[in-house]
């Protein structure tokens, strides 16, 4: 068994850590306070290749492995958790476009994502369809040969206020997953209106409800074949779930590092806090769990890179890592005492932010459905 990152991966991690600390970290709290997406952030990240990790070189991308995308998410998560949403969205969406689009569509759509000029979002959730995504009802009504108009509402869409383009799942056929198609939609269409959410966390990225009132799309905007949209989009989630796990673990590790430094420096009862096992043992437990969860995330990504089945590992990563990150960040906050409870410290914001990804991209329950289906067999799926 060969185990560990290679030299290039370690060098990428080290370079990215330095860059993220310098360029991203200073904006983490101010962007949250402004509750507004900063376009310059997408352009800065694009310059580092972070919006084009999964895009082939011929379209301006890095053609990076899934493991490299995971390292990127982990390091960005340490500096600015919310900037990590750009990695998730661009990696997930470009993966879907690369796998399902024609060469002409790829040429037209991928370079803009790579350069950071096209901020993309993905629209699945609706007011009446969340976990049960295959029951979505946004209607694509045929208007002549090879054209449709979209009517309905999507909700809870990350970057929904800022995005320029969207992967939109719409119903072109009958009920169930097979009646769903995916379209690449211009968010500047006059038939689209948006309204923002007022969220607990990730306020710099934001979510929105999007109304479609007669938005015209054609076969040229169709991603893959008519009726294949649900499956082709959901396949992308398999690996983006492990990337989400690493983004959350990056924020957790950074919080734990800060708590450990505090345990070394802060003196109580005449000795450093870290000498009390009541302080050091919870930190030791956090470090142990983070180590375990990281292994699951990287195994899922390594399996993806090696064309091995990885749905169960990605689902394990998705249900465990965000929940664990919330627990570790909470413990770190407690270790920092009254200092951690102040909004001047980043740890409280990290806690608000990671909770969002306990829900976004699928809850723990849906991940456990995937894991148990893999363990017990399809016949035992509800
Ligand atoms: C931060 C954030 C970002 C998001 N970004 C996007 C985005 O970019 N695009 C997008 O399309 N959506 C996005 N979403 C929406 C997200 O995908 C949904 O919230 C999620 O799939 C759950 O759907 P729901 O909220 O409607 O919950 P529901 O489906 O109503 O479920 C409510 C609760 O019941 C549980 N539950 C449901 N069914 C079962 C079952 N069969 N067995 C056991 N428990 C069950 C759920 O786990 C959950 O705890 C985002 C959400 C958040 C919070």
Instruction: Give residue-wise pLDDT tens across range 236-272.
Output: 888 899 999 999 999 999 999 999 999 999 999 999 9
> Containing H/E element for 285?
helix 277-305
pLDDT digits (tens, 9 = 90+) for 58-93: 999 999 999 999 999 999 999 999 999 999 999 999
CB 312 within 8 A of CB 374: yes
What contacts 24+ positions apart, CB below 8 Å, involve 32-38?
32/82, 32/203, 32/204, 32/349, 34/204, 35/203, 35/204, 35/206, 36/204, 36/206, 37/119, 37/159, 37/161, 37/162, 37/204, 37/205, 37/206, 38/204
Predicted structure pTM score: 0.97
Q: What gap in Å lies between CA 48 and CA 61, rounded to an integer? A: 11
Name which of 99, 121, 94, 96 is nearest 110 in CA terms. Answer: 94
* Closest residue by CA, ligand 1 atom 24: 130
Count of Cβ atoms closer than 10 Å to residue 146 Cβ: 12
CA-CA-CA-CA dihedral for 186, 188, 193, 195, to nearest 10: 90
CB 248 within 8 A of CB 321: yes
pLDDT above 80 (res 382): no
Decide: 362 in ligand 1 pocket, CB within 6 A: yes
> In the prediction, which pLDDT does 238 show?
83
Q: What residues does 142 pair with on adjacent strands?
A: 148
pLDDT digits (tens, 9 = 90+) for 287-340: 999 999 999 999 999 999 999 999 999 999 999 999 999 999 999 999 999 999
Query: Tell me, what DSSP letter sits at residue 164?
Result: S
CA 364–ligand 1 middle distance (angstroms): 9
Indicate the top mutation candidate among 32, 130, 322 to test ligand 1's pocket, ranked by most ligand atoms within 8 A of CB: 130
Q: Among the atoms of ligand 1, which is closest to the Cα of residue 364?
A: 47
Decide: 131 in ligand 1 pocket, CB within 6 A: yes
CA 125–ligand 1 middle distance (angstroms): 8
Residue 253, phi then psi, degrees to nearest 5: -65, -40
The CA radius of gyration of the chain, in Å to the nearest whole number, is 21
Helix (H, G, I), strand (E, B) or coil at 222: strand
> In the prediction, which pLDDT does 381 show?
79
> In the prediction, which pLDDT does 236 show?
83
pLDDT digits (tens, 9 = 90+) for 142-157: 998 999 999 999 999 9
> In the prediction, which pLDDT does 69 show?
97
Decide: 363 in ligand 1 pocket, CB within 6 A: yes
* Closest residue by CA, ligand 1 atom 43: 365
């Amino acid at each position: 068994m060969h185990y560990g990152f290679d030299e290039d991966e370690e060098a990428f991690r080290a370079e990215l850590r330095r860059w993220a600390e310098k360029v991203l970290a200073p904006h983490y709290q101010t962007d949250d306070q402004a509750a507004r997406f900063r376009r310059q952030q997408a352009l800065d990240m694009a310059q580092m290749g972070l919006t084009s990790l999964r895009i082939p070189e011929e379209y301006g991308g890095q053609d990076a492995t899934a493991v490299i995308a995971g390292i990127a998410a982990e390091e960005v998560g340490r500096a600015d958790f919310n900037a990590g949403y750009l990695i998730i969205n661009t990696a997930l969406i470009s993966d879907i476009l690369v796998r399902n689009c024609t060469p002409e569509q790829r040429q037209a759509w991928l370079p803009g994502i790579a350069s950071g000029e096209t901020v993309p979002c993905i629209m699945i959730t609706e007011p009446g369809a969340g976990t049960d995504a295959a029951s979505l009802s946004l209607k694509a009504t045929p208007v002549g040969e090879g054209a449709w108009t979209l009517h309905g509402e999507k909700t809870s869409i990350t970057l929904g206020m800022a995005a320029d383009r969207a992967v939109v799942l719409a119903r072109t056929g009958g009920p169930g997953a097979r009646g769903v198609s995916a379209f690449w939609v211009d968010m500047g269409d006059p038939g689209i209106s948006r309204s923002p959410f007022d969220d607990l966390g990730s306020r710099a990225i934001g979510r929105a409800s999007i109304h479609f009132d007669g938005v015209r799309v054609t076969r040229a905007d169709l991603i893959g074949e008519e009726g294949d949209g649900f499956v082709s989009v959901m396949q992308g989630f398999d690996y983006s779930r492990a990337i989400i796990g690493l983004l959350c673990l990056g924020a957790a590790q950074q919080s734990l590092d800060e708590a450990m430094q505090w345990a070394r420096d802060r003196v109580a009862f005449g000795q450093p806090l870290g000498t009390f096992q009541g302080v050091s043992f919870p930190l030791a437990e956090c470090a142990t769990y983070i180590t375990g969860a990281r292994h699951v995330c990287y195994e899922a990504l390594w399996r993806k890179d090696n064309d091995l089945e990885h749905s169960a590992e990605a689902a394990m990563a998705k249900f465990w890592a965000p929940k664990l990150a919330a627990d570790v960040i909470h413990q770190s906050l407690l270790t920092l005492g009254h200092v951690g409870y102040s909004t001047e410290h980043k740890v409280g914001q990290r806690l608000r932010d990671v909770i969002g990804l306990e829900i976004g991209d699928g809850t723990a329950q849906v991940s456990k459905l995937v894991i148990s289906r893999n363990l017990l067999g399809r016949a035992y799926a509800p």
